[in-house]
Structure 1
Amino acid sequence: MRIAIIGAGIAGVTSAFECAADGHQVTVFERRGSVAAEGSFANTGLATPAMALPWTQASFPRPGAGSLSWQWRRWRAERSKNRAEQQARLLQLAVYSHSRLQELRIRLQLDFERAEGQLLLLRQERDLRAIQAQLDLLQSLGLQQQFLSAEQCLALEPGLNPDTALHGGIQLSPAEVGNCRQFSHLMRIEAQRLDVRFRFHTTVRSLTPGSVATLIHEHTVPPEGLGPATRAPEKQDAGDTQPAPLGPVQDSFDAVLICAGASAVDLLQPLGLKPAMGLVHGYTITAPLRQLEAHPDLGPRAGVFDLREQVSISRIGQRVRVAGRIEPGAAPKSFKPSTLASLHRVLNDWFPGAMQVGQEQRWTGCQALLPDGLPLLGASGLPGIWLNLAQGAAHSLDWPLACGAARLLADQVSKRKTDTEAPEITGLDIARLA
């Protein structure tokens, strides 16, 4: 089959690899100049299945005016009688995805600055009571969890500040953190070895469904300095070896996979597909770890998550990344001073002096999210059009689900028998939103 994939974030790159591994001819269209240049650029780095769950009642969105607003749908979904079943389905996909990630890492010998471990930090005893339902769900699905005293937390993460009040922590397993952008670039290389073609700086203008779907795309070089001023310059990758023609170009494919994240709405609406996807954004700051011979553990050894503050602190190679403050709406072009101050405050609570602030990189990333918090995965209901969208989890912005979602979708497109250990994709496609 000839397959087009729209979007080269973590969802698009993994989907391209899986489809090519099945023997298909794959072309990836990406409007930016590189893979993982938007929502996957500097995300939290959490690849822990349990972090796909919302660990507290979300502070957003509050019900807005009108019963049809996205805020109201989200508020109702969080209180649905099917909520436990939905979260179980989400967690099953995350577990499968983590297993697929490990399989790819070992078989392809991928090194993406990973570290094993994830610790939920509980400042007070009431924090533990607030997450009991999530812990019960983990236990029912056989995922390991262990309560650690404050002393045990300090032994596991010796860089933690002993002067910060700490009731204890929950050690999650399986759990890891890593460099999502680096992983995406490595998967791009593996996909190219399978003859996947990447067309960067190429915007898909429209789609026409059918047994042979048509796609109109156009080479669009962005103006200088596109993107938030607070993020690092984007590395420009070469496209394929063919020169890009000027003006709109029409191509035909046996299947088109939409993995365009937050920008997918512009492609879906003309097709009559109008899922109630809202936009959320999060903030990260990343900087080198301070190196002091007398204090080798100034920063985290792996990942910690402050439950009360809803902020994660992760080790990314020799750097530390602080992420949090998930808010509704598109990402702003710059940090609010209050947001930056709150991230630094949480970091200094737990790992004072760990970050070389003078080399700090700030980033805001946007992700599409459905009211029920589940991904949009599978057939679109229109011939030739498939969806791999809305993977944004409450804290981790898309990595925990990517590898599993890509494999399941490739199986569906190929009409290939899915691994017996894989979860059912039923209930994750667009039919549930009818």
Structure 2
Amino acid sequence: MTQKQVAVIGGGVVGVCTAYFLAAAGHEVSVIERHQNVAQEASFANAGVIASGFATPWAPPGVPAKMLSYLFGSEAPVMLKPTFDRALWRWVRRWMNESELDRYRINRDRIHRIVFYSRDILRQLRDYYQLEYEQTQGVLQLFRTEKDMKSAEPAIALLAESDVPHQLLDADGARAIEPALAPHTALAGGLYMPQDEAGNCPLFAKRMKQIASSIGVQFHFASEVQAIEPESRGVGLQIDDKKFSADAIVLAAGADSVPLLKALGIHLPLYPVKGYSATALIKNFDQAPQAALLDEAYKVAITRMGNRIRVSGTADFASRESELLDRAIRTLVKVGYDWFPDAANYANATFWSGASSMLPDGPPLLGATPIRNVFVNIGHGSSGWAMAAGSGKVVADIVSGYAPEIDMDGLTMTRYG
């Protein structure tokens, strides 16, 4: 391997992990981030769930039939309003086409390949550096009705096919895992994933930033890349009003990667999808969750983070702005009160929204692009935290000229031609 000067564009958890592994491989690495610290956008207040078994494409079989109800429901996991945004409707059409069972299986297998690898890499990092990031063990999916349980049967069967450890529980079994679940909320059963976990994503990213800095990574904050220009021996970067050169760059800036790639002639169906969260201080620890849960009906996660509860969810295609939509907030508050009504005052929580970049089929894009010395680590959607460590290691291996430790079929730019 030849040592390279590598610029990583984007300081979210994906970019930080990429920078760490590049530096660990012997490269001279700089991270370019437009905010004042790492993990300030999609990584900032996300659900924190690292649920390998639940990391699946967002277009499961049957989703087209549900879209109409999502359009008019007062509380719904997906918000999509009538609009003349042609890019959105092209994306939605491709997304729905991926819901066919055969396509879903292919996409799920690709996602699982990187997610399970990432889980192993994360555990190695945690054990080696003795990392603490408010992590909890186990994730419990809650089914409010028998219909919800029935709808989940194909996904559960796929877990069995993949030898993913899981336990299908009745209502009593689910309450044994989480005794504080409210007795008045309808509960048909649950699906427990003992090997999955949750944790504070920005806390992890900041700890990894410290470790990366200790092995030579330079972080440049309040710096925004305006353009990328191929050069004879590397890549040029226009940062604010100055020009810099690097041997290679890795784009890990989520949806902000799109205009930079477009200027290079690379067009990808990457679309920003907003998610929301409510983070509230626990007022009654006996009535708070012990770990992480997923409400299947509303596609909302409830995560315990130290002395706080975070309720997260909603896929918002309705707005690209940063405002908090009342409909999304109502959904989060409702789910919090439904399951753990005495644990916190959710109405007075700290609310947040942030956009994740999503591809219609689901798996991320990792590695080389048609432009020499330009690499990508993008398109992780809402599973960026679950894929960050493995994606960073894979891309660092590719930049270094090494073969990745997993099969890269369907995880590279070639799947989009």
Of the three residues 136, 143, 146, the one matched with 1:125 is: 146
Of the three residues 183, 195, 216, the one matched with 1:195 is: 216
Of the three residues 83, 106, 110, the one matched with 2:127 is: 106
Of the three residues 22, 46, 49, the one matched with 1:46 is: 49
Measure, in 1, the Cα distance between the counterparts of 2:123 and 2:208: 13
1:117: how far off?
A: 1.1
> Does the alignment pair 1:26 with 2:19?
no
- Is the deviation greater in 81-90 or in 190-199? 81-90
Measure, in 2, the Cα distance between the counterparts of 1:160 and 1:357: 16
| Residue matched to 1:85 | 106
| Residue matched to 1:240 | none
Of the three residues 231, 237, 242, the one matched with 1:215 is: 237
| Residue matched to 2:391 | 405
2:388 counterpart SS class: helix
> Does the alignment pair 1:8 with 2:11?
yes
Cα contact 1:124–1:167 (8 A) shared by 2 = yes
Q: Match for 2:180: what amino acid?
A: G
CA deviation vs aligned residue, 1:369-424 (integer Å, no higher than 9, x gap): 1111111111111101000001013xx4x1111111111111111012433xxx21
Of the three residues 266, 269, 273, the one matched with 2:259 is: 266
| Residue matched to 1:432 | 415
State the number of aligned residues: 395
| Residue matched to 2:158 | 137
Q: Percent identity?
A: 33
Measure, in 2, the Cα distance between the counterparts of 1:251 and 1:383: 17
Cα contact 2:236–2:243 (8 A) shared by 1 = yes
Measure, in 1, the Cα distance between the counterparts of 2:411 and 2:102: 17
1:339: how far off?
A: 2.1
2:46 counterpart SS class: coil
Q: Match for 1:115: what amino acid?
A: T
Measure, in 2, the Cα distance between the counterparts of 1:145 and 1:184: 29
1:165 counterpart SS class: coil
1:50 counterpart SS class: coil
Decide whether aligned partners of structure 1 residues 409 and 168 sit closer, same or farther in structure 2, where only a CA change above 3 A counts. Answer: same
1:329: how far off?
A: 5.2
1:63: how far off?
A: 10
1:305: how far off?
A: 0.7
| Residue matched to 2:366 | 377
CA deviation vs aligned residue, 1:335-383 (integer Å, no higher than 9, x gap): 2223222211111111012114475211001011111111111111110
| Residue matched to 1:229 | none
1:309: how far off?
A: 1.3
Q: Match for 2:202: what amino acid?
A: R
Measure, in 1, the Cα distance between the counterparts of 2:57 and 2:303: 18
In structure 2, stretches of 5+ residues that fail to align are: 68-77
In structure 1, stretches of 5+ residues that fail to align are: 219-247
**TM value normalised by structure 2:** 0.90
Cα contact 1:284–1:323 (8 A) shared by 2 = yes
Cα contact 1:282–1:331 (8 A) shared by 2 = no
Query: RMSD of the TM alignment (CA)?
Result: 2.0
Moved over 3 A (4+): 54-68, 329-332, 356-359
> Does the alignment pair 1:288 with 2:288?
no
Of the three residues 293, 303, 316, the one matched with 1:327 is: 316
1:377 counterpart SS class: strand
Decide whether aligned partners of structure 1 residues 256 and 187 sit closer, same or farther in structure 2, where only a CA change above 3 A counts. Answer: same
Measure, in 1, the Cα distance between the counterparts of 2:112 and 2:270: 20
Cα contact 1:88–1:137 (8 A) shared by 2 = no
Q: Match for 2:266: what amino acid?
A: L
Measure, in 1, the Cα distance between the counterparts of 2:160 and 2:395: 28
Report which of the two has the higher share of helix: 2
1:13 counterpart SS class: helix
Alignment of 1:342-353 (within 5 A): 342-353=331-342
1:282: how far off?
A: 0.7
